[in-house]
Structure 1
Amino acid sequence: MRGRFLATTALTVVGSVLAAGPAGAAERINVKVGGYMEQFVGYADQDVPGRDVTGFDVKSDTEIFFAGSTRLDNGIEFGVNVQLEGNTESDQIDESYLTASGAFGQVIVGSENSAQYLLHVAPKDFGFGLNSGDNVEWVDFTGIGGNTGAFRGPFASTYLEAGRVNDANRLTYISPRFAGFQLGASWVPDSGEDSNATADKSVAVHDGFSLGAKYAGKLGPVAVAASVGWGTVQAADSASASDPTAYNAGLSLGWSDWTLAAAVAGSRNDAAIGDSTGWTVGLNYAPGPWKLSLAGFFGDRDGSATANAGGSGARKASFDTVQFEAGYDLGPGVALVGVLGYAELEDRSGFGTDSEAVYGVSMVRLSF
């Protein structure tokens, strides 16, 4: 069934391209440079047994985008997007993918998130992400066995992937929008990110599949957006565990300068973190250059059997955060943001420790 759906989608897209007629003298792709730079100065206060993590710190996050496209005379637009991390990391190239767009919708091939992620609706933030795991950089997770599951997992984000397979090479189709509705599907052959090596399915997850649906429209003066997504990836052939799955859903209501949004997510059969759930709600007020936001995220994970028995790894725990942000656009591409946050980490394995963290952070974001 899965292979039949993907084959049908591919044939439909190829048929649309061929039916559009031969390409003419379209211009060669000219790649432009864009991106952002964020610099943070903040203070965090947290009591963690055996560690001293209270104090001031300076952090940064920068990405440089190389993007461009060309529209052929047959109406098909091909594009390229490569995202370079501005700070030295294990994942130096964040995402790298090709797009083909037209009346048939959009096809994305390469290292990019799935349709389940791309079509997801959730509260917006304009500081560092409360709903993407970025805020964990100001919180110490030693007492609960680390922050595994916070990034692309429901322990700290509703933007997730099944098995937390992030930015692996995959094939995605996003439909055109009909009466406000849009559908998408993705297939990922393995979990290898930034790698063309042959994957050993006997020891690694493989053959993942995800679906996403989104609606965007208006009910009188209220702007409405809603989404639902589901995905799965096959467990390693040598594993006795069930296949990891993930789901998410979101709703956003906007009126004038106000937006209220909420989202929920969950994952099952993740070998590193067990089952997990998370939900978030946020209220934004954005009059002119000013932006104000109050949001919370509340995540739970079951942890791994080894960690819950006293071993290493992610323990059964909860991670609850409330965050207030105030921002001001100083000029085109220049924003100043202040963030106040409170996080509570609760160990539920009996082998860790609870802690609370308070942080205040100022940041400058440059977009170019």
Structure 2
Amino acid sequence: MKKLLVASTALVAFAAVSTAQAADPIKLSIGGYMQQYVGYSDNEDDNGAANYSEVGTYSVAEVYFRGSTKLDNGLTVGVNIDTFKSGGTALDAASDDTFLSVSSDSLGSVKVGSTKGVSFGLSTFHSDAGIGMTGSFSVDEFAQDVSGLGWGTALSTTDGHKVVYLTPNLGGVQAGVSYGLVNESNVGSANLQTAGNDIQYQAGIAYRGDLGGVAVSADYNYEMIEDGGLTGVGVASTATDGTATDSVDTISNPESHRVGLAVTVAGFKVAAGYRKTDNVGTVSDKDSDAWEAGVKYATGPYAVSLGYTKVEQDDDGTAAAQEDTSELWVASGSYNLGAGVTMIGSVINFDEDDASDNAANQTDEGSNWAVVAGLKVSF
């Protein structure tokens, strides 16, 4: 029923487009950004088990083409083509938000293409003034085990072919749903039944408004990932739950609930969020909890912030599961130099604890820290 509803919404929107002519063809504008960082880090694990490079660099870049036109029937048709680079990936190797949209003030908007789920735009997060709430420049061995969940409280944010619908904004309240591939494992393929495809369902609702000079943002978002898509390495969800993979764990589809709240007044923004995920990695009863909180103050060209994230995750799906923990602190500052150029600095501390590792020389625990400086350039 969900799939039929989403498909019907998209068909209605595109049928309306076919009955009208655009006053002007779409003309694309070009834009983007580049971020380059240099940092020093102390990444030695407990008891000197491993020592990683102390000076490193990191970069993020994106070039995008965007355009839209308004048809005679009032619908606006837009295109969004992004190319993204992060770390060591090639600039042309990653498609990031490449989709077509149809929208109107009374009907809302439909996006079809390679993009993120609807929760990405409906979620409220802490706004870091520097490099962001990431583990960059600090070794995060345990974090690799939870990397599919992402840092902090965000739901899945990978780009895959999806249909996304957003309602009109009514008094600051907006809701949406999305359906499609979790990530782009088959770029250019219309066959959703290719092995390995996981299907993502997301739904959310958010409020953004001004209450007597106080800006308030709040959200609730839900996600379910269907293991193996339609016929992939797993099987359809109705046959997946309870299928034994070994003597202990069974397969179940991951489900997440996420809430967030932010209040901004007199240059201060205070934000907090929480995410609960069940059946992490499709392992039944393997759960994860994540919290984030932060404060940011901005005045003129200056901004400073302090943010905190904690992730707790069961190491298996049994009743005797132990809880692994990762914690991240990021203190940042920035100065806007003008002309789209911003100078930033961040101090990062990352702690990890593997509850099941009691060896004298633990290689997957430690307290790591880093100091980072860089430039953000938008164009």
Same fold (TM over 0.5): yes
* Pairs within 5 Å for 1:167-246: 167-189=159-181, 191-193=183-185, 195-197=187-189, 198-200=191-193, 204=196, 206-235=198-227, 236-237=234-235, 239=240, 240=243, 241-246=251-256
The change in CA–CA distance for 1:17 and 1:68 in structure 2 (over 3 A counts) is closer
The whole-number CA distance in structure 1 between the counterparts of 2:24 and 2:164 is 26
The reply to whether residue 29 of structure 1 matches residue 26 of structure 2 is yes
Q: Is this contact kept in 1: 2:10–2:110, CA < 8 A?
A: no
2:287 corresponds to:
275
Q: CA deviation at 1:262?
A: 0.6
* Pairs within 5 Å for 1:64-213: 64-86=63-85, 89=89, 91-103=93-105, 104-130=107-133, 135-142=134-141, 144=142, 147-150=144-147, 153=149, 156-161=151-156, 166-189=158-181, 191-193=183-185, 195-197=187-189, 198-200=191-193, 204=196, 206-213=198-205
The whole-number CA distance in structure 2 between the counterparts of 1:16 and 1:358 is 55
Q: Is this contact kept in 1: 2:6–2:163, CA < 8 A?
A: no
1:312 corresponds to:
none
The change in CA–CA distance for 1:36 and 1:194 in structure 2 (over 3 A counts) is farther
Q: Is this contact kept in 2: 1:247–1:265, CA < 8 A?
A: yes
The whole-number CA distance in structure 1 between the counterparts of 2:14 and 2:187 is 27
The whole-number CA distance in structure 1 between the counterparts of 2:113 and 2:323 is 35
The whole-number CA distance in structure 2 between the counterparts of 1:205 and 1:321 is 31
What TM-score results when the alignment is normalised by the length of structure 1? 0.85
Identity %: 26
The change in CA–CA distance for 1:298 and 1:190 in structure 2 (over 3 A counts) is closer
Match of 2:43 among 46, 57, 71: 46
What TM-score results when the alignment is normalised by the length of structure 2? 0.83
The change in CA–CA distance for 1:256 and 1:30 in structure 2 (over 3 A counts) is same
Give the letter for the 1:230 counterpart. Y
The change in CA–CA distance for 1:63 and 1:15 in structure 2 (over 3 A counts) is closer
Match of 2:266 among 251, 256, 262: 256
The change in CA–CA distance for 1:242 and 1:127 in structure 2 (over 3 A counts) is same
Q: Is this contact kept in 1: 2:290–2:309, CA < 8 A?
A: yes
Q: CA deviation at 1:8?
A: 5.2
Match of 1:332 among 339, 342, 364: 339
RMSD, matched Cα: 2.7
Q: Is this contact kept in 2: 1:169–1:193, CA < 8 A?
A: no
Q: Mark the runs of 5 or more structure 2 residues left unpaired by the alignment.
A: 228-233, 244-250
2:375 corresponds to:
364
The change in CA–CA distance for 1:272 and 1:303 in structure 2 (over 3 A counts) is farther
Give the letter for the 1:334 counterpart. V
The change in CA–CA distance for 1:284 and 1:276 in structure 2 (over 3 A counts) is same
Q: Count the aligned residue pairs.
A: 347
The whole-number CA distance in structure 2 between the counterparts of 1:180 and 1:94 is 28
* Partner SS for 2:135: helix
* Partner SS for 2:80: strand
